[in-house]
A = this chain, B = another copy of it.
Amino acid sequence: MPHTIALVGGTGPEGRGLATRFALAGHRVRIGSRDAARGVEAARDLAASLGRGDITGADNAAAVADADLVVVVVPYSAHRATLEGLRDALAGKIVVDAVVPVMFDRGPRPVDVPAGSATEEAAEILAASRVIGAFHNLAAEVLLDPTANVDADVLVTGGDAEAKQAVIALANEIAGVTAVDAGPLRFSRFVEGITILLIGINGRYKAHTGVRIAGLGGH
């Protein structure tokens, strides 16, 4: 059953990359931005380059209004304010946090999050939403190429079993991806940390890496 998926802060490379893959899988996609015009423009460009799919843009509040599943891809610096502003609009919905608390100062560095992780912070702010962590570790450059196979697993955290299964199913629709249940929300810090590791490895090896969990067999 297709979702209507809103990407909050979706005009950046990660948001447009995920929008590409969600549209290819047949979902309706709403690209949200602080600035409605930028959301509309990003959606129009993406729809034109893909030549298919139901992709529209709006400001973040309008984008999430008719979505049943929302993916948050704002920079960490905008995380708290964005979620507080959308709290009521996100009540009852599945909210997937893909945000990594990272800053750059001669390389990537973790930002201290009192809640333990961005995803746990989202769960604190959005007490009436079904918060799941996922999609932190996928290279935007690969997602943006609709012909590229994504050589990476998606690690999914959360305590709402039904919402988690919906996100696992969504991730598994991305060509090449295997979704792995990475545990409850308190494991999100480790998943977010992997992205900081991968950013460093990408710089060192001039690559667009992902992470795979080996040894799971054909789960």
Number of copies: 2
Number of A interface residues in the complex (CB < 8 A): 39
A40 vs chain B, min Cβ distance (A): 33
Check A217–B207 contact: CB distance below 8 A: yes
Residues of chain B with a CB closer than 8 A to A208's CB: 215
Check A187–B197 contact: CB distance below 8 A: yes
Given contacts A152-B214, A213-B211, contact A201 B183 (CB under 8 A): yes
Residues of chain B with a CB closer than 8 A to A81's CB: none
Given A193-B194, A212-B212, 11 other A-B residues pairs in contact with their CB atoms under 8 A: A152-B215, A181-B204, A182-B197, A183-B204, A187-B196, A187-B197, A198-B213, A201-B216, A207-B219, A209-B215, A211-B213
Sample of 25 A–B contacts (CB below 8 Å): A107-B184, A109-B186, A110-B189, A142-B215, A155-B197, A182-B197, A182-B201, A183-B201, A187-B200, A190-B190, A190-B194, A190-B197, A193-B194, A194-B194, A201-B213, A205-B216, A207-B216, A207-B219, A209-B213, A209-B216, A210-B214, A210-B215, A211-B213, A212-B212, A212-B214
